[in-house]
Amino acid sequence: MSDTNASSPITTRVDGEAVEVKVSNDLIKRGLLVAPIILAVCAAVWGLAGAYGAALGIGLVLVNFAFSALLISTTARISLGLMMGATLFGYLIRLGLIALVFFLVKDATWISLPALGATIIVTHLGLLVWELKYVAISLAYPGLKPTRS
């Protein structure tokens, strides 16, 4: 951590490894691993429209994680105050983008909205819970736990 202005913690910036990007990439990798299972389940329950809804939902979730990590890692290098604002307003923007996509496809006949909604909820929560096993809750190893050689 590099202190650019010792008098203000808000203007302090973070120099170093962007652990949020590593965690996000790990989440995306796991999301791509389970995507075929989610697609198959949604196709079995809702047909081809369910598979399309699941594919869109998985895409939204993975882009959401990537955009969040990019936003945090970029703004943390500028200042912690900017990072806090970007985290808050970035959440609102990402939520708005999900809502926008929903409103763009809500009347489409080729997509199953229950599959889309279920996929977004289950994939977000499922990947976050799954990732808990791989994240180090330690200042010695921020981000992912070190692997044993």
Domain for residue 2, yes or no? no
Contacts 24+ apart (CB under 8 A), 43-47: 45/115, 46/112, 46/114, 46/115, 47/112
Torsional class of 74: left (φ above 0), alpha (ψ -120 to 50), beta (otherwise): alpha
Domain for residue 113, yes or no? yes
Task: Find where tokens 């996000």 sit.
Answer: 24
Stated pTM of the model: 0.82
- Model pLDDT, residue 79: 87
Query: Structural domain tally of the chain?
Result: 1
Domain for residue 114, yes or no? yes
**pLDDT tens per residue across span 83-133:** 999 999 999 999 999 999 999 999 999 999 999 999 999 999 999 999 888
Domain for residue 56, yes or no? yes
Instruction: Domain of residue 23: give its range.
Output: 18-134
Q: Quick one: how many helices (H) and strands (E) in the chain?
A: 4, 2
User: Which H helix or E strand runs over 143?
Assistant: strand 143-144
Domain for residue 94, yes or no? yes
Pick the most confident of 17-26, 33-42, 71-80.
33-42
- Model pLDDT, residue 3: 47
